[in-house]
Amino acid sequence: MNPSHDLSHQNKPKPKAVIVGGSIAGVSCAHALILVGWDVVVIEKSRRPPKGNPTGAGLALDPLSQELIGSWTGHPELLHDITSPAAIDLNQAINDEKSRKILARDENFNHRAAHWSSLHDHLFSALPPEIFLWGHLFLSFSVSSDKRSVKIRAQVLDTEETAEVDGDLLVAADGWNSLIRKHYFPDIKRRYSGYCAWRGVLDTIGNSVTMKVSDEMIQKMYQDAEKIWHPTFVQVMRETKEPFVNAIYDCDPPERIVWDNVVLVGDAAHPTTPHSSRSTNMSILDAAVLGRCLEKLGSENLTAALEEYQSIRLPVASKQVLHARRVGRIKQGLELPDRKSFNPNTANWEECEMLQLRAVPFFGHNPLF
């Protein structure tokens, strides 16, 4: 070994990634990139960490996501403490007489359920707090003429001043309505899935637009639930604090998720409906694959590393988004080009099998892992 060459390598400054968005995808990328030797700055418009936020969703973490989170935080036992076993994947229907029919049941599911804010706090607490720029609203970005650096402009919400942050890599983790994706795909539109979800948070305990609901709306939801749902579920709804409504969206998978030294991850890359429990799992896997590609090829081969990330993740995520859309249409009883509308009262086992999460493309098999 050449000692002088080794010393030069050690003194080489770390490459720097600027991550726009501090949600699950953003903090996951921060973990994955720090682990492979990158400096990281996270730009987030929220003024403070969302610890204790009651309006987050419930999440189902697959075994690989659990393993990756444990490797990032170094405390897999803590993840176990903040999650609950989701050992059964159950699909069922309730008819007009409010009797229950099991459509599909998988008892070898091996997922764990988490609340969004608990998972975010778990990931965030294991990161250096100084890497976060809270209260910074992303405005724009520009790539240098030689494609080797990127400059991000953000508004400091407390002062209304404009801050600039430079980096070698821009990671767009700015969610389903990503401004960075819009820069490259101004004509891509979000697709309304055709329904809203009633959600809330119990004391015991995508993509969507969250709306607070009025007392009148809540009473209407209770009345509708009593006409449709089993009494036990109606009771759960009545005991839920702070219910809110989500309009469910996805969008057509993009043709690419990498440009020069800009990369899309999480919902910015693949907004999806919740029918296949993939949104959070895809975000975590995006981060892990991005980290491994950067480690494998090095920052000096950034273009090749990002292209490899795209070649691995884009086909997988696209198929999973379209599968979730298909399952959503089946559950709504809508017709598809290759099958009649789904009727839970007459459906046979083969028709119901599509509803299982095990039917998701690449279920239990992820390239590079």
Residue, of 262 and 10, whose pLDDT is higher: 262
Q: Are 75 and 69 in contact (CB under 8 A)?
A: no
Nearest to 28 by CA among 15, 39, 37, 19: 19
Mean predicted lDDT score pLDDT of the chain: 88
**In the block, which residue shows the tokens 């279920």?**
363
Q: What is the predicted pLDDT for the residue at 56?
A: 61
The tens digit of pLDDT for each residue in 55-79 reads 567 899 999 999 999 999 999 999 9
Least confident among 152-161, 223-232, 286-295: 223-232
Q: How far apart are CA 238 and CA 77, in angstroms?
A: 34
Rounded to two decimals, the pTM is 0.87
> Is the model's pLDDT at 349 over the cut of 60?
yes
Percent of the chain at pLDDT > 70 equals 89
Q: How far apart are CA 218 and CA 237, in angstroms?
A: 10
Q: Are 286 and 267 in contact (CB under 8 A)?
A: no
Q: Name the residue ranges covered by the structural domains of the chain.
A: 3-190+252-359
Q: Which residues pair with 263 in a beta bridge?
A: 171, 258
CA 193, distance to chain mean position in Å, is 17
Q: What is the predicted pLDDT for the residue at 52?
A: 64
E strand map for the chain: 16-20, 39-44, 58-61, 84-86, 89-94, 100-106, 111-115, 132-134, 136-143, 150-156, 161-167, 169-172, 190-201, 208-212, 241-251, 258-259, 262-264
| Sign of CA pseudo-dihedral 289, 86, 191, 325 | positive
> Is the model's pLDDT at 276 over the cut of 60?
yes
Nearest to 19 by CA among 124, 114, 146: 124
pLDDT band at 207, cuts 50/70/90?
very low
Q: How far apart are CA 227 and CA 169, in angstroms?
A: 53
The tens digit of pLDDT for each residue in 106-134 reads 998 999 999 899 999 999 999 999 999 99
- Angle, helices 279-297/24-35, rounded to nearest 10 degrees: 20
Looking at the structure, give the CATH architecture of the domain made up of residues 3-190+252-359.
3-Layer(bba) Sandwich (3.50)
Least confident among 15-29, 313-327, 333-347: 333-347
Q: What is the predicted pLDDT for the residue at 194?
A: 76
